Amino acid sequence: MKVSSVTFVSADDGWVLGQVGGRVRVERTTDGGSRWTPLETSPPFGPGPSGAPTGIRFADLVHGYVFGRDALDVTSNGGQSWQQVAIADEDGASDGTGAADVEAAGGRVWLLNAAAPYPSIYTATVGSTSFGRVGRAGNRGAFVEVHRSEAYVVGFEGAGPVPPNLEVATTAGVSNRQSPCGGIGADQGTSSASGQSAGDFVGLAPAITPGVLYAVCGGDTTSTTSASFLYRSDSDGRSWTGVTVLHACVAAALAVTDSTAFVACRNGGVRAAPLTSTTSHSVLGSMPVQYVGFTNDQDGVAISGVAQSQAGAGDLYLTRNSGEHWTKAAT
């Protein structure tokens, strides 16, 4: 199976979304990825103008979400059955009725709808299919990351040196925080809290310490010396400090464990940056990587490929020793 998305709720329990022979399939593991079993009932995700679903997220062992531009499928029994939920189309018939991104934590699920160019932010309690709108995202191509009771929404503004926003959504509405990224075309270089680096906001992840966040700004793909930039905030994203420059890495995703920040590079490999250091080193070879994530300090996953889409779907890799060694999963 060519994997497009993966989700784990514990070191042992996880699901992958992908395609086999052009058909959408979800597979389940209960042993940390050593063995995978297809679900007997696939999500009812029908063919649409935007193709197959792009993501899967589970909040716990029973509540899960398969999503894409054209549909959102929800299960409350671990995937034994699925219900299709239509998300509000607010900007016209050209928008899909699905979701661009979904994340769950702390008993709530957060999603960005498929509205273009700027999606709206919705939330519901886990187990409910009644999503309430809390505001609009200020960025194109936005994604959401949940930290405690807040949903952080980041993305890119498009061509030119337009700084991407960092927004925080709660059930009460949406507010702005400071972004460390300056957009494609901005001046290169690491910066203090008052400056910005080149690159779009492509990754954000909380550390185990309350209030501490890490962010990565993607490299300028038009540059012959592409570099991405890792930042740290000790104030829930209100100010940022440059940590390190990730040379020759066009960042695609970020994950943070108790000890290390891991950055997936679209032009090859994963860079591991210890949180107590300003250096980094490469892991997982030189293949393009579109996603990296960790369930805890030891157990992580990565997906090869160049984008989180049907065309960029790839192979799933697993680590059980904090990213030191990776094994290709037999999905």
Give the pLDDT confidence of 270-280 residue by residue, as tens digits. Answer: 999 999 999 99
Within 8 A by CB and 6+ apart from 196, the residues are 163, 179, 180, 181, 182, 183, 186, 187, 217
Query: How high is the pLDDT of residue 46?
Result: 60
Number of helices and strands in the chain (H, E): 0, 28
Q: What are 314's strand-pairing partners?
A: 3
Residues 6+ apart with CB under 8 A from 171: 108, 123, 132, 134
Q: What is the per-residue pLDDT for 221?
A: 52
Contact 135, 150 (CB under 8 A): no
The pLDDT value recorded for residue 57 is: 97
Residue whose C-alpha is closest to residue 26's, from 4, 59, 49: 4
CA distance 235 to 145: 16
Quick one: 277 exposed, middle or buried, by C-beta within 10 A (0-12, 13-18, 19+)?
A: exposed
Q: Kindly report, residue by residue over 64-77, the tens digit of the pLDDT.
A: 999 998 889 999 99
Task: Lowest mean pLDDT of 5-19, 134-148, 183-197, name the range.
Answer: 183-197
Residue 257's pLDDT band (cuts 50, 70, 90): very high
- The CA distances from residue 259 to 159, 177, 217, 249, 262, in Å, are 35, 25, 20, 21, 10
Q: Supply the pLDDT for residue 220.
A: 56
218-231 average pLDDT score: 71
Whole-number pLDDT of residue 197: 58
Cα torsion 192, 193, 199, 204: sign:
positive
Report the mean per-residue pLDDT for the chain. Answer: 85
Mean pLDDT of 45-64: 82
**Residue at token pair 């104030």:** 235
Portion of the chain with pLDDT greater than 70, in percent:
85
d(C-alpha 255, C-alpha 327), whole Å: 18
Tell me the C-alpha distance between 172 and 293, whole Å: 29
List Cβ neighbours of 224 (8 Å cut-off, separation of 6 or more).
none
Residue 41: pLDDT band (50, 70, 90) is confident
Encode pLDDT of 200-223 as tens digits.
888 999 998 888 999 998 865 555
CA distance 100 to 140: 11
Distances in Å between the Cα of 181 and the Cα atoms of 30, 187, 195, 245, 251 are: 39, 10, 9, 13, 13
